[in-house]
Amino acid sequence: MFCSLISFAQQPDSTYRFTRQDSLRGGQRSERTGYDVTFYDLNLNVNPATRTIDGSNTIRYRVKEPFRRMQIDLFGNMQIAAIMQNGQKLPFKRDGNAVFVDMKDAQPVGQLREVKVTYSGSPQVAKNPPWDGGFVWRQDPNGKPWVTVTCQSTGASLWWPCKDHPSDEPDSMRITCRVPNGLTCVSNGTLQTRRPARTAGQTEFIWTVRYPINTYNVTLNIANYAYFKDEYRSLDRQALPLNYYVLPHNLEKAKSHFEQVKAMLDCYEKYFGKFPFWRDGYKLVETPYWGMEHQTAIAYGNNYRNTPFGFDFIIIHESGHEYFGNSLSAGDSGEMWIHEAFATYAEALYMECTHSIPKAIEYLNVQRKLIKNQYPMLGPLGVNYQHKDTDIYYKGSWMLHTLRHAVDNDNVWFKALKALATEKKLSIVTTDEVIDFLELKTQVDLQSIADQYLKYTGIPVLEYKVLAKSDKQWEVRHRWVADTEGFNLPVKVRFGFGEWQTIYPKTEWSATNVKFSSGWINFNTDYGLFNIRQVRLE
């Protein structure tokens, strides 16, 4: 399922060492590979007054290969009361945030089994959400509790027991949440039940997720929410429920501001196909932090502001993750570029869809200024790698934009992009699978181009020199200086005041003969991520 590990030599920070906990979180050993999760049943009490949670998670799984020991992940500050199977307590041992459970009964291959983990504790508090993980215990402007959680990089196991690895998603899930009366608990999927809890003073909410979901996307949002709904109609006129939960004083503002969701869904349907979680609906939930792509319950905390380009960044970017990240998902943390590059590229496509190609190029050039070129976008696999900068966003977006122009046929490119989103819908993919798929659909060699941006820190340089052969006759020599063998990105170029044309530089010197009245030459860097260097004549 996974590609081979990247050589650490490709990383400029070669002194970085992974801990045993990194390996336990990111690795795939028999304690994990022996079972495939099919269903989570998370059942919790949330107490804002004490900042604690307690309850259970039942893990239903299918046995893939014989095993006698199972790894479940739950942070060490959370207390496990019992782990049960078939009415028996199972012995377990901790190794930091990993819990190793010894099975008493045989685990026959192909059969379904369940374990129930009962636990409690004060979960880690997020110091700087959403960039670091944990619970956020706040109050709204009226002094009522406002509780949320974010855990993308840190891990879902900071607050609930699960197989905390991106390679395994349940087929479906149920989230039951009990909160003090007067508060609403919003989670993923569809609200099935809202009723008084058995414990006096509590209200119980039961949410069902009818699709696969990765663990970091599971969320709780608890507040005195105001609710309103709307509807989106797809191109085939199917109705998608739009559900919005906001603080009461923002209700009228949200009704107006969230209108942009419909135009966005129109654009994303054009490029990526229909919304992938149709039966669970689309949802925005107001949070005290900036935002996060929680599946069908997108965290929204951008204060109802648009960018200078006229759209709300959090709505457009985080909704892009519903297609890339939540539906089509990476199977290892080292491949998170698959999530972030496509979602960031979706912002530019939204500009192209709602405005024009020149406006999208203008937007992409804003992104370009944020590229650092310090670390490869593709990280080491199997070690819970945390990316050190934002290049998987902005450089990733530019890589996809560059691949589009390497294909040099928008009809072919956009058909391939939609096919990727729809044919790989609700699946886990690797980097190689993504690039191979795009190559297959476009029939263009993209591997050497993608490798340059994914595996190396620098961007390619187009070297050129201009030689006068006679009056108005010129020879332009050019080559790519790149880390990948056979780098072959086509380039748009204009000589003098002539028309734009395409040249095909290679990693060896080649030449293009042209006629023009001056030595003026212009390479179009709006169509690809590369630098240009003129070489003096020898």
328-386 pLDDT, tens digit each: 999 999 999 999 999 999 999 999 999 999 999 999 999 999 999 999 999 999 999 99
The C-alpha angle with vertex 469 and arms to 464 and 474, in degrees rounded to 5, equals: 45
pLDDT of 117 reads 98
pLDDT digits (tens, 9 = 90+) for 213-259: 999 999 999 999 999 999 999 999 999 999 999 999 999 999 999 99
The least confident of 3-7, 232-236, 455-459, 502-506 is 3-7
The C-alpha angle with vertex 427 and arms to 386 and 234, in degrees rounded to 5, equals: 110
pLDDT digits (tens, 9 = 90+) for 168-225: 999 999 999 999 999 999 999 999 999 999 999 999 999 999 999 999 999 999 999 9
pLDDT mean over 430-459 = 97
pLDDT of 466 reads 86
DSSP letter at 3? P
Give Cβ neighbours of residue 231 (< 8 Å, ≥ 6 apart): 239, 240, 241, 242
pLDDT digits (tens, 9 = 90+) for 116-131: 999 999 999 999 999 9
Q: How much is the pTM?
A: 0.94
Rounded (10°) angle between helices 313-320 and 260-272: 30
Query: How many CB atoms are located within 10 Å of the residue 216 CB?
Result: 26
Burial category of 329 from C-beta neighbours within 10 Å (exposed 0-12, middle 13-18, buried 19 and up)? buried
Question: Which span out of 422-426, 468-472, 514-518 was modeled with the highest average pLDDT?
Answer: 422-426
pLDDT of 2 reads 24
| Helix/strand/coil (H/E/C) assignment for every residue in 369-415 | CCCCCCCCCCCCCCCCCCCCCCHHHHHHHHHHHHHHHHHCCHHHHHH
* Residue matched to tokens 């919304």: 275
Instruction: State how far the Cα of 85 lies from the Cα of 79, in Å rounded to an integer.
Output: 18
Instruction: State how far the Cα of 63 lies from the Cα of 114, in Å rounded to an integer.
Output: 10
- Is residue 321 over pLDDT 80? yes
pLDDT of 516 reads 67
Number of H helices, E strands in the chain: 11, 29
Considering the chain, what percentage of its residues have pLDDT values greater than 70?
Answer: 95
Instruction: State how far the Cα of 314 lies from the Cα of 301, in Å rounded to an integer.
Output: 8
Instruction: State how far the Cα of 443 lies from the Cα of 439, in Å rounded to an integer.
Output: 5
pLDDT digits (tens, 9 = 90+) for 59-112: 999 999 999 999 999 999 999 999 999 999 999 999 999 999 999 999 999 999
pLDDT of 456 reads 97
Q: What Å distances lie between residue 465 and 162, 468, 537, 538, CA to CA?
A: 59, 10, 7, 10
pLDDT of 537 reads 65
- Is residue 409 over pLDDT 70? yes
Instruction: State how far the Cα of 36 lies from the Cα of 1, in Å rounded to an integer.
Output: 14
Residue in 354, 250, 268 with CA at minimum distance from that of residue 305: 250
pLDDT of 417 reads 98
